[in-house]
Amino acid sequence: MNRMFTNQWPSMTDQQASAGQEFIGLSDITEFLRRYAGTIIACLAMALLLAGFYNSSTDPTFIASAQILIEPKLPQHLQEGGEVDLSLDTAQVESQIAVMQSEKIAAMVLDQLKLVDDAQFNRSQSPTLRDRLTKTGAVLLDALGLRKSAWLQHFALSEPAAPPMLTDFQKFRRSMLVFRNGLDVRRVGVSYAIDISFTSPDPEGAARIAN
């Protein structure tokens, strides 16, 4: 019986030795940093390079927002039950949001503000790797003062390639896609207020569209 108890429960000395092996001291941390210092520095340098590449090749974006208030209008005979009022009001607000997000409203805004001819609405949604590399190279050349160097003109690093010509329909669909991706319409909590925001690289253009 004593032998079985001894086998099941390790002695206090074994427990202390096991705890000492599992404890991580300052010397262990120092040894780890010394052994993997090169790998850690290389990973940090790679992360900084990737962050710099993304930052230099991505256009800044601006968000403009506006709020409108929906005034519910229900027939008098429907204003007797509180639950009925709440459900109908919610449906009315959601319907207004759906209308604001519709393609018909988007087409009206594109036509009224002449956005189809705007360069910001005739660009691809996500820049290609070549576009990012070209823009990053241009930033580096500007920083080094070599943007107008003659020998770099041979490698076509100073100016991006001209975009392909699009038909009127293609320009309209691309502008529509850019517009709808930048538009955000949502209800403010459970109120009758609707928040309209638009994201664009052009702050003035974003404000005009949101308002």
Per-residue pLDDT of the chain (211 residues; tens, 9 = 90+): 555 545 555 555 555 555 555 667 788 888 888 898 889 999 999 999 888 777 776 777 889 999 988 876 655 555 555 544 545 578 888 888 999 999 999 999 999 999 888 888 877 656 666 666 676 666 666 666 655 555 555 555 445 555 667 788 888 998 999 899 999 999 988 888 899 999 988 888 888 888 8
Q: What does the alpha-carbon distance between residue 72 and residue 84 come to, in Å, rounded to a whole number?
A: 13
pLDDT the model gives residue 144: 62
Q: What does the alpha-carbon distance between residue 159 and residue 161 come to, in Å, rounded to a whole number?
A: 7
Q: What does the alpha-carbon distance between residue 19 and residue 9 come to, in Å, rounded to a whole number?
A: 15
- 175: closest CA among 121, 110, 124, 111? 121
pLDDT the model gives residue 158: 47
Q: Considering only the C-alpha atoms of the chain, give the largest distance between any 2 of them, rounded to a whole number of Å.
A: 93
pLDDT the model gives residue 166: 75
